[in-house]
Amino acid sequence: MQVISKETRDKDTEMQVISKETRDKDTEMQVISKETRDKDTEMQVISKETRDKDTEMQVISKETRDKDTEMQVISKETRDKDTEMQAISKEIRDNDTEMQVISKETRDKDTDIT
C-alpha cells in the first residue's frame, strides 16, 4: 500500500491537497484527489478512484466555484461489463440559478436499463 499526500498553503490562503493510494495488482485501488482554493474563494475538487479489472469502478468528480457562486459538479461512475453501471451526472448553476442534471445508468444486455 502506497499513500502519497501533499498539502500546500500560501499567503493567499490557497490550499492544494493531492492524495494517492495504491494497492497491489489483485486489489489495486488508486485514489487521486485535488482541492484548490484561491483569493476568490474558488474551490475545485477533482477525485478519481480506480479498481482492478474484475470489479473496475471509476469515479470522477469535479466541483468548481467562482465569484458568482457558480457551481459545476461532474461525476462519472463505471462498473465492469457483467454488471455494467454507468452513472453520469452534471450540475451547473450560474447567476440565473440555472441547474442542469444529466444522469445515465446502464445495466448488462439481458436487463438493460437506461
For the full predicted model, state whether its pTM sits above 0.75: no
- Enumerate residue ranges in the chain where pLDDT < 70: 1-114
Q: Which residues contact 111 (CB under 8 A, 6 or more apart)?
A: none
pLDDT of residue 100: 46
pLDDT in tens, 68-83: 445 555 555 555 555 5
**Does residue 49 contact residue 57 with C-beta atoms inside 8 Å?**
yes
Contacts for 2-8 with beta carbons within 8 Å, 24 or more apart? none
Check residue 63 and give its pLDDT. 54
Cβ-contact 52, 58 below 8 angstroms: no
Determine contact, residues 23/31, Cβ cutoff 8 Å. no
Cα separation of 17 and 7, whole Å? 4
